[in-house]
Amino acid sequence: MLHKGRKPRYLAVLTAFVLAIGLATADGIANEEPAAAAEGADFNPGMIISDSVFYNSATMTVAQIQSFLNAKVPTCRSGYVCLKGFRQTTTSQPARSEGCAAYAGQANESAALIIYKVSRACGINPQSMLVLLEKEQGLVSDTWPTSRQYRSATGYGCPDTADCDINYYGFFNQVYHAAWQFKKYRARPTIRAYQAGRYNTIQWHPNAGCGTSQVYIQNQATAGLYLYTPYRPNAAALRNLYGTGDACSSYGNRNFWRMFTDWFGSTAIQVHPSLMSAWLQHGGADGRLGPPIAAAQSVSGGGILQRFERGQLVYRADLGTFRTAASIATYYYANGGPAGRLGYPVSDVAGADAIEHTQSFEFGFVSWKPASGIAVRGGYRVSEPYLANWKALKQSQGVLGYPIAGVVDEGSGWSSQRFERGYLLYDGARKIMYWLPSGIWDYWKARGGLGGAIGAPTASPSGSAAAGWTQNFVGARLAQAPAGTVTMVGGVAVSGVFRTNWTALRGGSGVLGYPIAGVVDEGSGWSSQRFERGYLLYDGA
């Protein structure tokens, strides 16, 4: 006799058939097979879903579950409440010895919140619960669900040989008791009919005449699925994965595996929680990225990278999650990926291989054209203390643009880094950073730079690219016109007693401005030097 907590759903023919052949739904819209549809040959009866995936309760937030439900049913049929809009007052549940934490009931909970809270309380993947709801009653995708579907949402307490147990009626009851049942299976596995780590005799169909098969169940989650639905899909059911097989075909565990694969990717490889929102926004397993093909990995700089069938997702907390793909991704990973010169992506790749496509990274911009291939702007890492100052100047979108060279030692504790439209110059002794427009830098370097008459900068420039830049140095003021022409005010040596007094008057930034002539002998021991806004007159006696 079947346990009341076990729902051996061996047939879900209507749902499977509609999905298979694209029959019109109640709204008159045909369902199509996913772009990355599951393949029956990939079904492994001994490992339908891994423990690490099935029991991972952290895969989706409430908002992600709600967004998923919204996407599955954009428009609900008039007069019906679809799962995305369903609400129910829930009852509090105590902590359970099998491993479910206490559940705090509350009024008017959404279906998404119920699924989330139950999954967290019992340590079950909310994706598994979504698939169970679809497998049993088609609730996730139904545009006109009935009260009976909500009443028996997960098929809990509904054996094939009898009507459903009224003690477990209701959406919350169904979701909660199904999750709790899977934890019971896990907590006491050795008393169950099907156990992991051994060969198990499993029927093909409730009709005993269809025979049995031997399945070596590899893990507890798979054992739990067979306990919940104790039949194995035969070859006919797997050949027609989106439809019906033969008289001895069962579909429950096939449909669970197929739906999970189509919606969330591999049942053995999990999408990292930090990447889940972006992956779902790109269409999930049947979207532009496809299912995951490798586990997520930590990368340099505190980020996460995961590879999918048609691209990658890269995440860092301060930047977000972005997709890499196509020829740009090939170049990017060949050049070190996040640990290389380009750093992390800061935008998704735009375009496709047949036309030009582009992508922005922390330290560079990469484009690909069919005729010319890869082109890169920037592409040199920016490290502290340059990074903080570059960020303050709005990084690549600011006055400097992307870095186009590494750090250079300028001598005497000074160093510099070149960017597209200027330089950062760092006084290591005083821990002060200046930036210089490219034209001013070239003019300044041609006249000796730090060791020349112009000397070191005393401030970063003022002005704008459109109006021109003005920058003060120890010995002169340099002006860069919008056209790029640079002119100098000052640049005449100030030395001895004149320099001491000029410096005391704040040098070029003070009342006198910069020197525009050398020292002149005024006679009788007097001498003078002319500046922009005045003179220094010295009584030598």
Q: What angle do CA 511, 513, 519 make, to 5 degrees?
A: 110
Same domain, 390 and 373: no
> What is d(CA 40, CA 249) in angstroms, rounded to the nearest whole number?
13
Question: Is it the case that residue 396 has pLDDT exceeding 80?
Answer: yes
DSSP state of 395: G
Residue 443 in any domain: the answer is: yes
Question: Is it the case that residue 26 has pLDDT exceeding 90?
Answer: no
Q: Tell me what pLDDT residue 291 has.
A: 79
Tokens of 39: 């393949």
Q: Torsion angle, CA of 61/7/174/151, rounded to 10 degrees?
A: 120
Choose the weakest-confidence range: 182-196, 246-260, 267-281. Answer: 267-281
Q: Are 196 and 30 in contact (CB under 8 A)?
A: no
Alpha-carbon dihedral sign for residues 260, 171, 221, 67? positive
The H-or-E segment that residue 472 falls in is strand 468-472
Cross-strand partners of 471:
478
Same domain, 292 and 254: no
Strands 87-88 vs 109-110: parallel, antiparallel or unpaired: antiparallel
Question: pLDDT-based confidence at 5, cuts 50/70/90?
Answer: very low
Rounded mean pLDDT of the chain? Answer: 89
> What is d(CA 175, CA 113) in angstroms, rounded to the nearest whole number?
11
Please name which of 88, 175, 87, 169 lies closest in space to residue 130, comparing C-alpha atoms.
Answer: 175
Write down which residue in 377, 406, 440 finishes a domain. 377
Q: Torsion angle, CA of 216/220/222/227, rounded to 10 degrees?
A: 100
Q: Which CA distances in Å does 254 have to 12, 138, 190, 225, 539? A: 10, 15, 25, 11, 103
Predicted TM-score (pTM) of the model is 0.59
Same domain, 77 and 194: yes
Same domain, 400 and 445: yes
DSSP state of 165: P
The H-or-E segment that residue 220 falls in is helix 220-228
> What is d(CA 113, CA 322) in angstroms, rounded to the nearest whole number?
27
Same domain, 167 and 256: yes
Residue 5 in any domain: the answer is: no
DSSP state of 327: H
Residue 8 in any domain: the answer is: no
Same domain, 251 and 303: no
Residue 501: φ, ψ to 5°: -75, -40
Please name the residues in contact with 74: beta carbons below 8 A apart, sequence gap of 6 or more.
Answer: none
Q: Tell me what pLDDT residue 19 has.
A: 30
Please name which of 226, 207, 208, 209 lies closest in space to residue 217, comparing C-alpha atoms.
Answer: 226
Question: Is it the case that residue 266 has pLDDT exceeding 80?
Answer: yes
Q: What angle do CA 335, 340, 345 make, to 5 degrees?
A: 95
Same domain, 248 and 321: no
Choose the weakest-confidence range: 6-20, 287-301, 355-369, 511-525. Answer: 6-20
* Higher local confidence (pLDDT), 8 or 77: 77
Question: pLDDT-based confidence at 66, cuts 50/70/90?
Answer: very high
Q: Tell me what pLDDT residue 353 has.
A: 60
Is 247 strand, coil or helix? coil
Residue 524 in any domain: the answer is: yes
> What is d(CA 337, CA 315) in angstroms, rounded to the nearest whole number?
12
Same domain, 70 and 105: yes
Question: Is it the case that residue 269 has pLDDT exceeding 90?
Answer: no
Q: Are 271 and 279 in contact (CB under 8 A)?
A: yes
440: containing domain: 386-490
Residue 421: φ, ψ to 5°: -120, 15
Residue 4 in any domain: the answer is: no
Give the mean model confidence (pLDDT) for residues 92-98: 97
Alpha-carbon dihedral sign for residues 323, 327, 331, 336? positive
Please name which of 247, 225, 218 lies closest in space to residue 234, comparing C-alpha atoms.
Answer: 247
DSSP sequence for 418-446: EETTEEEEEETTTTEEEEEEHHHHHHHHH
Residue 31: φ, ψ to 5°: -85, 135
> What is d(CA 435, CA 424) in angstroms, rounded to the nearest whole number?
4
Same domain, 207 and 321: no
Tokens of 400: 């400097």
Question: pLDDT-based confidence at 14, cuts 50/70/90?
Answer: very low
Question: Is it the case that residue 6 has pLDDT exceeding 50?
Answer: no
Q: Determine whether 311 is exposed, middle or buried from the number of CB atoms within 10 Å of its CB (0-12, 13-18, 19+).
A: middle
Q: Tell me what pLDDT residue 517 has.
A: 83
- Give percent above pLDDT 70 in the chain: 93
Is 537 strand, coil or helix? strand
User: Which amino acid appears at position 163 of this protein?
Assistant: D
Span 329-384, pLDDT tens digits:
999 999 999 999 999 999 999 886 677 899 999 999 999 988 888 999 999 999 99
Same domain, 176 and 296: no
> What is d(CA 273, CA 127) in angstroms, rounded to the nearest whole number?
12
Q: Look at the chain and report how many structural domains it folds into.
A: 4
Write down which residue in 238, 264, 290 finishes a domain. 264
Residue 309 in any domain: the answer is: yes
Give the mean model confidence (pLDDT) for residues 302-331: 94
Same domain, 33 and 143: yes
Span 415-473, pLDDT tens digits:
999 999 999 999 999 999 999 999 999 999 999 999 988 999 999 999 999 999 999 99
Write down which residue in 264, 297, 312 finishes a domain. 264
> What is d(CA 452, CA 320) in angstroms, rounded to the nearest whole number?
46
Span 113-122, pLDDT tens digits:
999 999 999 9
Cross-strand partners of 24:
30
Question: Is it the case that residue 214 has pLDDT exceeding 80?
Answer: yes
Cα 32 → chain centroid: 28
Residues in the chain, total: 541
Same domain, 220 and 362: no
Residue 6 in any domain: the answer is: no
Please name the residues in contact with 306: beta carbons below 8 A apart, sequence gap of 6 or more.
Answer: 271, 272, 275, 292, 294, 295, 296, 297, 312, 313
Q: Determine whether 97 is exposed, middle or buried from the number of CB atoms within 10 Å of its CB (0-12, 13-18, 19+).
A: exposed
Span 218-263, pLDDT tens digits:
889 999 999 999 999 999 999 999 999 999 999 999 999 999 999 9
> What is d(CA 326, CA 309) in angstroms, rounded to the nearest whole number?
12
> What is d(CA 532, CA 164) in angstroms, rounded to the nearest whole number?
97
Question: Is it the case that residue 491 has pLDDT exceeding 80?
Answer: no
> What is d(CA 382, CA 392) in angstroms, rounded to the nearest whole number?
13
Is 78 strand, coil or helix? coil
DSSP state of 340: S
Give the mean model confidence (pLDDT) for residues 488-514: 86
